[in-house]
């Protein structure tokens, strides 16, 4: 198993890891997303998220949850490939997959110190905000890199190569 794949963990394993890190006084940061086509905006966002703490956990949506959120034409990249690509980034400590439409359940389970979302969200509008607040966690919104999104990238590919 390569080093990136070794970072991909089941949430039950991550629960123990989070508890150990917190007991050692470390700050656990959590974020989630589809990461369908990894791009510069994702990399900058994840680097900024990592800078907020000692350990960054990224929950990647499964193929089924991406289809429910983005439509039947997505994802373009299968879930285990997306997870391994995210795990290959130096700033990412652990990756897990989640099948729910929101990260509420996994957040309630792991209870990270900080939950990070991109600047296209408002903290109070997040379905998971109550879960984060219920155990004393903090939500941080990180500004997105202008013009860098998977949707924009797909639109550009279609413009250049057709549909």
CATH assignment of 3-161?
Answer: 3.40.50.620
d(CA 32, CA 111): 14
Q: What's the pLDDT tens digit per position in 51-107?
A: 999 999 999 999 999 999 999 999 999 999 999 999 999 999 999 999 999 999 999
5 phi/psi in degrees, rounded to 5: -60, -30
Using alpha carbons, select from 33, 61, 53, 46 the residue that is nearest to residue 121. 33
- Choose among 40, 12, 14: nearest CA to 93: 14
Single out the residue of 85, 73, 72 nearest to residue 33, CA to CA: 85
Q: CA-to-CA distance for 44 and 67, rounded, in angstroms?
A: 25
Tell me the domain boundaries of the chain.
Answer: 3-161
Mean pLDDT of 126-150: 90
Report the C-alpha gap between 47 and 58 in whole angstroms.
12
The pTM for the full model equals: 0.93
Indicate whether 153 pLDDT > 90: no
Q: In this structure, what DSSP letter does residue 150 have?
A: H
Q: Which residues pair with 141 in a beta bridge?
A: 117
134-154 average pLDDT score: 86
**116 Ramachandran zone, left/alpha/beta (phi>0; psi -120 to 50):** beta
Neighbours of 109 (CB within 10 A): 15
Whether residue 116 is predicted with pLDDT greater than 80 in this model: the reply is yes
Residue 163's pLDDT is 64
pLDDT tens track for 19-56: 999 999 999 999 999 999 999 999 999 999 999 999 99
């Amino acid at each position: 198993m390569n080093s990136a794949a070794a970072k991909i963990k089941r949430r039950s394993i991550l629960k123990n890891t989070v508890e150990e890190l917190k007991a050692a006084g470390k700050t656990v940061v959590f974020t989630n997303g589809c990461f369908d086509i990894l791009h510069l905006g994702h990399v900058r966002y994840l680097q900024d998220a990592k800078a907020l703490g000692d350990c960054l956990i990224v929950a990647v949506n499964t193929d089924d949850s991406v289809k429910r959120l983005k439509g039947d034409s997505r994802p373009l990249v299968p879930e285990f490939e997306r997870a391994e690509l995210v795990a290959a980034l130096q700033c990412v400590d652990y990756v897990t997959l989640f099948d729910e439409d929101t990260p509420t359940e996994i957040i309630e389970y792991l209870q990270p110190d900080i939950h990070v979302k991109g600047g296209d969200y408002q903290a109070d509008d997040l379905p998971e905000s109550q879960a984060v607040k219920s155990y004393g966690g903090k939500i941080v919104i990180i500004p997105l890199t202008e013009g860098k999104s998977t949707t924009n990238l797909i639109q550009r590919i279609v413009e250049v190569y057709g549909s």
